[in-house]
Amino acid sequence: MRILLNAKTQSSKDAKNNRTFMPPVSFRGLRPGVLALISSILVAACSLQGGLEPLPTLMPMPPTVAASSTPLATATATLAPTPAPPAASPTEAPRAVPAVADGTPATVGDLADPALPSEDAQSLDHFLFVGRPVPPHASVTPAASYRYGSTYEGRYDTHHGVEFENPAGTQLIAVAPATVFWAGDDSATVFGTFPNFYGNLVVLRLDEHWQGHTVYALYGHMLAVSAEAGQTVTTGDLLGYIGSSGIARGPHLHLEARLDNPTDYNSTRNPELWLAPLPGTGIIAGRVIDSRGKPIPDARVDIKCADGRFRFADTYHDDTVAPDDNYHENFALGDVPAGLCQLSVDYISGTVKRLVMVNGAATTFIVLQP
């Protein structure tokens, strides 16, 4: 077994302590303005260990919600402007995302999008990532603040993957039976937008194909790689260890799903639609659109489910990230407890809320529109 360790990689000790960006030695001596510019570029690509706030909880949903067993459409947009939000209570997350425009008045025939799946369609799933990329004792759910297609509220570039935040040295394991397409660093072969973007990485080419596509899983920012190119692996096999190599602010796994071209940064899809749901959970995928049917970027979707935990997802910032070939979503999040959840989006004209029955072990599709 071979261990690759990039000389440029921070030590795990340094990475843990490095909660604010510290430039490499070679940057010392530059004027502060130049340094700030370089810093902003470097942190743009990915992640943020230490930047995540603990998730607050919301009160359980009122009994009237649980009384219904069928999905209900409860659009509640009003003509009144959105009132100023009350001061955040200790049980609610502060809102940093403004209300979104809801477009001009719709005309007949303007709303239907023939590309959208039916909301009750359940045959479109493709959970080829049958296992999680980290062992069960680790944090096995993608971080909320920087999901696929989001910008962490404008702090970073559009995200082409999801983050699994775990300490440096946490094992990384195969999500599915596959052949190792790449194991090493990206200093010569570019997988991102410039060399050494992902640092040490492993790319798996999955055995199973999907709708004629070859499916890849990319693991970025590794501390060390223990797999070798050409090696065949099965679900759960060790690939290496979590680190912060490449453009990363702290130790975490950056996981991507790519179709057909493993070195193409624009070939990604949302990994949350490829990861098999954890037991008792499902996935919500949807579109936040204006009254004319146009997708709205950077809208915050708040999600309240029966477990009382606060969840959210932001809609895709731009089209540098592709939606799913089946769902054409502009947001998705997984590991949502099966059962009723309420989704809400603040439009300028008012809040649109919908109740949705999240199916276990499946993707539930929903449209939010004023």
Interface ranges with Zn ion (CB under 5 A)? 46-47, 161, 163, 254
Q: How are beta strands 253-259 and 268-269 bridged, if at all?
A: antiparallel
Sign of the Cα torsion 204, 205, 208, 212 reads: positive
Whichever of 163 and 324 has its CB closer to Zn ion, that residue is 163
Per-residue tokens: 357: 């029955």
Whichever of 85 and 154 has its CB closer to Zn ion, that residue is 154
Q: How far is the CB of 256 from Zn ion (least distance, A)?
A: 8
Whichever of 244 and 326 has its CB closer to Zn ion, that residue is 244
DSSP β-bridge partners for residue 218: 203, 256
* CB 239, CB 233: distance < 8 Å: yes
Of all residues in this chain, which one has the CB nearest to Zn ion in the complex? Answer: 254
Q: How far is the CB of 191 from Zn ion (least distance, A)?
A: 12
Whichever of 126 and 254 has its CB closer to Zn ion, that residue is 254
- DSSP code of 174? -
- The residue behind tokens 């990363």 is 248
Whichever of 141 and 359 has its CB closer to Zn ion, that residue is 141
Q: How far is the CB of 251 from Zn ion (least distance, A)?
A: 12
Q: How far is the CB of 177 from Zn ion (least distance, A)?
A: 25
Q: Coil, strand or helix: which one is 42?
A: helix
Q: How far is the CB of 192 from Zn ion (least distance, A)?
A: 10
User: What are the distances in angstroms from CA 150 to CA 138, 193, 272, 367?
Assistant: 24, 17, 13, 18
Nearest to 251 by CA among 276, 274, 272, 221: 221
DSSP assignment of 275-322 equals BPPPTTEEEEEEEEB-TTS-B-TT-EEEEEETT-BEEEEEPPSSTTS-
State how far the Cα of 161 lies from the Cα of 176, in Å rounded to an integer: 17
Q: How far is the CB of 315 from Zn ion (least distance, A)?
A: 18
Whichever of 200 and 349 has its CB closer to Zn ion, that residue is 200
Whichever of 163 and 185 has its CB closer to Zn ion, that residue is 163
- State the Cα torsion 135-136-139-141 to the nearest 10°: 100
Q: How far is the CB of 159 from Zn ion (least distance, A)?
A: 6
